[in-house]
Amino acid sequence: GMEVAHRYVPVGDSVVGGDWYDIVPLSGGRAALIVGDAMGHGPEAAAVMVQLRTAAHTLADLELPPEEVLRRLDRMAAGITAAPFATCIYTVIDPSRGQCVAAQAGHLPPVLVQPNGAVRMLYLPPGLPLGLGAESFQATEISLPRGATLALYTDGLVESRTRTLDRGMAALRDALSSGLAGPGAALGKVCDVVTRDLRDHGEDDITLVLARIRP
């Protein structure tokens, strides 16, 4: 009941980043989609990323609510000595009900693209990054009509030293609207075009995940 495409673009051939994503099948035809970003670059960020990604996958298998998954990841990250903070968005999509439940930990908001190309930023309760021990995460229900596409991404796609966050978000909305306006647009091709057009000087690694409810 759902199509998914994803792209990861490393910051450079010899630089390790902290981005991760995961797609975990759940009972009842649902799926957990997760995107996270351990701040910084290098082995330390990569080590934290691996631990958080593994833990998030395990917690997803337990089918815990999104806000509880983030609470447990937050406690785990707070216990990693000298670890960088990390942002994360955790969503559970139910194609049969046309519904998504999402919770954020300091992450950028998801984007919802309607079948006609209309785009809306979903400003959910932002939460605080993982590792602060705040455990203040809230889940929000989102309606996903048939043919609609949900976009999850990391800040490397929309922000750099030469582009403000507002400009980057506007560019992302325009790129997704243009790429997904036509019926049956191939998600993989849209991922390629968006990551290529928005990548700016290779300052940070980039992750983009698109999930579409089948018409």
The dihedral over CA atoms of 166, 34, 104, 69, expressed in degrees to the nearest 10, equals: -170
**Residue-level pLDDT at 13:** 63
Mean pLDDT score of the chain:
88
Provide CB contacts within 8 A for 173, sequence distance 6+.
111, 119, 121
Cα distance from N-terminal residue to C-terminal residue, the chain: 9
According to the model, what pLDDT value does residue 50 have? 86
- Average confidence (pLDDT) per 10 residues, the chain, 215 residues: 91 73 94 90 78 92 94 88 83 95 96 91 92 87 93 90 85 92 86 87 81 90
The pLDDT of residue 38 is 87
Please, are residues 207 and 35 in contact by the beta-carbon 8 Å criterion? Answer: yes
CB 52 within 8 A of CB 42: no
pLDDT at 165: 87
